[in-house]
Structure 1
Amino acid sequence: MGNSARLLHDHALILQEILRDYALPLGGDHGVVHWARVLENGIRVAEANGGDAEVVRLFALFHDSRRVNEDVDHGHGTRGGDLARALRGTLVHLDDARFALLYDACALHTDGHTTGDPTLLACWDADRLDLGRVGIVPKPNLLCTDRARALLPWAHERAVAAHAPTEVLSSWGMTPADY
């Protein structure tokens, strides 16, 4: 797929669709501010390790999109991947190989894997780098990439401070009143 196919996603429209049935508070531990930090973390890792930045962007939106509680929620990543699959062809435009990466990134993001495709590693590190929001300091040896280990102090500080990436959130059509 050429570069033009990589630019077809309307992330704000995807977010609107996700939020139709989102069960948790938008400002909760697994809500939109977390997703925006995951996006920023993931782009930085993907740029360094050759991961697919558009899959990382979609992962940020879908990985926690079907949680039903803020605590242990087995299967939520698979449910997020299933939602992406349901939107494939209308709002999600990835070829089979790239969609498989998105689905696997979502479905496996809480399983603790540290090896695999660079896009998967960027996604998983992006989420793990934001564990500070729930009082967990990420362990460097549980991160997948050297880039994530280098980003850990920066990302952890932002997570603990509940930093809201306003540029990302604004690009998704969100205002501070929304979250």
Structure 2
Amino acid sequence: MSHDYTDILHTVLSGYALPHDGYHGVYHWARVWENGLRVAEHNGADEEVVRLFALFHDARRVNEHRDPDHGLRGGELARSLRGTLVHLDDTRFELLYEACRLHTDGHTTGDATLLACWDADRLDLGRVGITPRAELLCTDAARGLIPWAQARATADEKAHEVLGLWGHS
């Protein structure tokens, strides 16, 4: 069963505590989506999990600064939507959940899908004035994307194609 990203986005945003256009909001999620799919092309990650990660990883942040349990809360939100909006078998869902839960812990080894998710988020650090460091990324694909991703993040690129797919302007 395919995912209705517009419905997922509206559900996520209905409980999102921060500004939709903030550092961890919709424009960041859209860039994470694009970053992740570019990494997945090279490392064989599960693209559906990467897409869902983009929408859930920061979905339940409570502030723009230190929020150590936000990934866990994002994973729990995805779990609460299983069978209604999130349609993954147990193995793939566990990848999504773990990708969300662990995305700020600095891991650089593991399953290809986890690595693509974590790199997708790290590649967007330019939005907060940080240039991603190659040695802190998980994949060669992500290391090669640093200049491209940094330019997009620092310019606050809106990733209009993804936003259109989500039904968000």
TM category (shorter chain) comes to over 0.9
The 2-side partners of 1:48 and 1:102 are apart by 19
Cα RMSD of the aligned pairs, angstroms, is 0.5
**Map 1:56-135 → 2, pairs under 5 A:** 56-135=50-129
Is 1:18 aligned with 2:18? no
* Letter aligned with residue 137 of structure 1: T
Structure 1 segments of 4+ aligned residues over 4 angstroms from their partners: none
Instruction: State the Cα distance separating 1:74 from its structure 2 match.
Output: 1.1
How many residues align? The count is 169
Is 1:37 aligned with 2:31? yes
Is 1:172 aligned with 2:159? no
The 1-side partners of 2:11 and 2:21 are apart by 17
The 1-side partners of 2:86 and 2:51 are apart by 11
In the other structure, the counterpart of 1:136 is 130
Instruction: State the Cα distance separating 1:150 from its structure 2 match.
Output: 0.3
The 2-side partners of 1:138 and 1:106 are apart by 19
Q: Deviations over 1:70-121 (max 9, x none)?
A: 0001100000000000000000000000000000000000000000000000
**Amino-acid identity (%):** 70
2:164 alignment partner, SS class:
helix
Q: TM-score, normalised by structure 1?
A: 0.94
The 2-side partners of 1:44 and 1:19 are apart by 25
* Letter aligned with residue 151 of structure 1: L
* Letter aligned with residue 164 of structure 2: S
The 1-side partners of 2:136 and 2:25 are apart by 23
In structure 1, stretches of 5+ residues that fail to align are none
Q: Deviations over 1:124-147 (max 9, x none)?
A: 000000000001111100000000
